[in-house]
Structures are given as C-alpha cells and as structure tokens.
Amino acid sequence: MNGNKEGTYFGLSTPLGRSATATIRISGYKSKGVLNKITAGKLKNPKHKNTSVFDIYNKNNDLIDNVLITFFEAPNSYTGEDLVEIHTHGNPVIIDMVYDALFELGLRLAEPGEFTRTAYLNDKIDLIQAESILSLINSNTKEGVGLSLNNISGSLSKKIKKMRSNIISTLGFVEYELDISETDNQRKTITQAHKNIKNLLLETSELISTAKYARIKTIGAQIVIYGKPNAGKSTLFNSLLNYERSIVTDIKGTTRDTIEEISTIGSHSVVFIDTAGIRTTENPIEKLGVKRTQEKISTADLSLHMITSAPKKIKLKPKNNITVLNKIDLLEKNELNKVRNNKNLVCVSAKNKTGIRQLLKRINKELDLKTQSKTTNQITSPRQEQSLKNAQKELQRALECKEDNLEIIAHHLTGAIKAFDVLMGRTSPDDILENVFSNFCVGK
Ligand code: GDP
C-alpha cells in the first residue's frame, strides 16, 4: 500500500459467497458520475444519506441486478470523500459483473484497509480509532465488541490526548524556568514537574497493564498445553475440543509443530495450543518443535503443564500455570485419593475424559480473574502498547533527573510527547501505517 493514492476505488465490504445481499463500497470524487452511469441516468443528483432501489447496467446496457443504493456526500461520510454503498443480491457472479462495470468506468480496486486509511488521513478518526475498528471486526467475545466500540467512540483517544496535554503543560513550565524566568524557582519547578510526571507514569502503566486482558477479550486467551512426550498432551487437546484434532500415538515426538484451535469457555474465547513434548533430542525437526513450545509458553496467557506422576513435593502454584496430572485411570485407589487432595493439581484422565469439566471450570476461573479490570479505557494493539512503553521510558528518565538538569527533563518530556504523537498517529512513519492498515481486508 503506498499512502494516499489517487482516484476513486471500490471494494466488497461483505464476505464473498452466496447470501441475501452483498455490499460494494465506492469512495472518491467520481462516485456521483458512476451512479449516474450505472443507473442509466436515473440517479443524477444523489442526496446525502438517500437510499433507493435501482436497476444497474454495464456499458452495453445489459442489466446486472436490481440493487439498493445509498449515497453519502463528502465530507460527511466514513472516508470523508463522496461514498456509495451498493447492496446487490449476494451472488459472486453478480459481484463480478459489478466489478467489471466499475473497472470499465475507470475505477480501481481498493487496497486492504484503504477506506479506513482514507478516513484516518482525512481526520475523520485517529489511529487508535482505526485500530479499534479492526479489533471490533475481529473480536471473538461480547466484551471485546463492547471494548472496541468504546474505543471507536473516542473515549481512549480522549484520555490519551489529556495525558499528552499534561506533558505539554509540564514541559511548558520547565521551559519557562529555563528560558524566561528571572527569579530562581528551580526547586519549586522541579517539585511540581516530578509530581506531574509521577501521575503520568501511574496512568501510563495502568494503560499498559490493560493490554493483555484486552487482548484476551478481543482475540481470545492463548492456552498452551506442554509437558514431556507421551504425557497425553494431544489426547487432552482433543478432549478439551471434543473432537480428534491432533494425532494421538504412543510414539514419542509425534507432535513436532504447534497446533492451534479456537474454542469457547464460559464467556471467553480461547485458543488451545498443542505443542511438541519437551525433551533433549538430536532430531533437528523435533529440536525446532521444542524451541517453538518454549516460545509459546513464554507468551501464553495460561499454560497447562501436563505430568503423569504426582510430584513428591507440593510446589507453590507458578503464575499463569495449571498443573494437570494425567492418566489417573492407571492409579491405585489410595494413590488417587492422595493426589485428589492436592489443591495444586487438577487430576484428569484425558483418554477417558474424566476431570475435563473440572479443568474447564478452573481455566474459566483463571480467565475471569485475568479479565477483571476497573479501568474503562483499555488498549487493544501491540503497537499501542509499544508506543506507551516508549513514553513510559522517557517519563521515567525525566523523573530520575537530578535537580540541576532541567534541560534533560525537558528533553525527555519532549521524547514522551513524541511517543504519544506516534500513538495517536499524528506523526506515524509510513511503515507503521502500512502495518496497521494491511491487517484489514479490502472493503474495510
Ligand atoms: P503427547 O505426546 O503428550 O501428545 O501424548 P499423546 O496424547 O499422544 O498420548 C500418548 C499416549 O498416552 C497414547 O497412547 C495415549 O492413548 C495415552 N494416553 C493419553 N492420555 C491417557 C490417559 O488419560 N490414560 C491412559 N491410560 N493413557 C493415556
């Protein structure tokens, strides 16, 4: 994608396939002329937000379909340009014919995310709102939808703007002291600056801490199953999903790559990840599998550590980890009673599907705890998290400055403002924008 491209473009905004209706969007200055042509002169001067039914035709006057057309006049449209929505019958053949007719009229196909990118470039939305539209479309839970809608409404942007203007006012009085003030107010200035920076740091870390649970709410929690070969990881993976997704054998090292599958637990969307068993191996493919397992464990929201014999010592429960004792069907009765009393273990027989309900309950409880948040504003993308971490670093450095270093404080406050500008998309380099919008589909 190469920035603000010229011309009028179009794209299918609904998934390709057979359906009652499908929507094709057109944006750009030729929109009105296109409507006049495809309706054979029946829609010459469309009015803003007007919706009517028309027959549409190609260049040779062949009827394409009977459609519903809505027109939005610039600048009061999604993109800020003249924008048209054509609702055809949902048949790929019809979509193809509309595409051909639009190509014949000199329009081009939109690039991924181009409608939303144009909205951003025309100041209809900021970069955070653009990302929230993507997270709204991709949200797998009701809470994720609510969170994304809240961010689209501008609530998060408002909070971030306020934080940015607090840094600017702090920088203002630091610079006043540096450049203009004739009285020696240095100590007072530093005390006030430190107070403001401390508050800003609190707000910044609070927002950063929301990244993980907002991700769980929108995309879903990553739950990795790990342990030694033959512990029963693939069997558990299948039992949790309730179908035979992974291959189960008693040959060690069968699962060499990670296998991921989406599921739902309570109100949570989850991604279960079956992994290669952890053992020392010389096999290069298995080695890569083990490395991938370790990476997945480090980034997972929750991990299920599978073991097949009860540990001698009862360890404290590690964070983000549930220890699952498998193959309890092979235990003697008195051994079974012993392990069942161990509160740090969840006992299952993955093969016989015993204990799976208790495990699901336990996962649900952990995810409930992880997604509880008192803050209304939550960030939803790794880019937002990274920009805030950059701002946090600058603010931290400004705070650590000694008394006689007002200049250095000013320097780091300027750095923090820059990080906030990147966050809002005020000064985002092209490659960052490219990254944000390439995650959208054509038509969004
Ligand atoms: P992985 O290598 O950890 O993925 O282990 P698998 O799921 O492939 O299982 C290894 C072997 O253990 C297979 O023969 C399974 O049938 C067996 N197995 C898995 N779970 C259980 C269980 O709960 N009880 C018993 N008796 N065998 C199991």
Q: How far apart are CA 382 and CA 214, in angstroms?
A: 11
Closest to 403 in 3D by CA, of 101, 165, 159, 192: 192
Among protein residues, the one whose CA lies closest to atom 10 of ligand 1: 230
**What angle is formed at CA 166 by the lines to CA 163 and CA 167, rounded to 5 degrees?**
95
Q: Which residue has the tokens 């630091």?
A: 174
Contacts by 273-276, CB closer than 8 A, 24 or more apart: 273/222, 273/223, 273/224, 273/225, 273/300, 274/225, 274/233, 274/234, 274/237, 274/245, 274/246, 275/224, 275/225, 275/226, 275/233
Q: Cα(93) to centroid of ligand 1, in Å?
A: 49
Q: Cα(248) to centroid of ligand 1, in Å?
A: 7
Task: Tell me how crowded residue 337 is: count the other CB atoms within 10 A of its CB.
Answer: 10
Q: Tens-digit pLDDT profile for the chain (444 aa)?
A: 334 457 899 999 999 899 999 999 999 999 999 999 999 999 999 999 999 999 999 999 999 999 999 999 999 999 999 999 999 999 999 999 999 999 999 999 999 899 999 999 999 999 999 999 988 988 888 888 988 999 999 999 999 999 999 999 999 988 888 887 666 778 888 889 999 999 999 999 999 988 888 888 888 899 999 998 889 999 999 999 987 776 666 666 666 678 888 899 988 989 999 988 777 777 777 777 778 888 888 889 999 999 998 776 655 556 788 999 999 999 888 888 888 888 788 999 999 999 999 999 999 999 988 887 767 789 988 899 999 999 999 999 999 876 668 889 999 999 999 999 999 888 766 766 777 777 777 777
For strands 321-325 and 345-347, give the pairing. parallel
Plot region of 113 (φ>0 → left; ψ -120 to 50 → alpha; else → beta): left
For strands 221-227 and 63-72, give the pairing. unpaired
Tell whether the torsion through CA atoms of 231, 234, 237 and 238 is positive or negative. negative
Q: How far apart are CA 41 and CA 19, in angstroms?
A: 28
Ligand 1: list residues with CB < 6 Å.
229-235, 248-250, 254-255, 277, 326-327, 329-330, 349-351
Two structure tokens written together for 386 = 């990274």
Please report the atom of ligand 1 found closest to the CA of residue 306.
Answer: 3
Q: How far apart are CA 160 and CA 140, in angstroms?
A: 26
Mutate to test the pocket of ligand 1, among 225, 230, 352 (most ligand atoms within 8 A of CB): 230
Q: Cα(250) to centroid of ligand 1, in Å?
A: 7
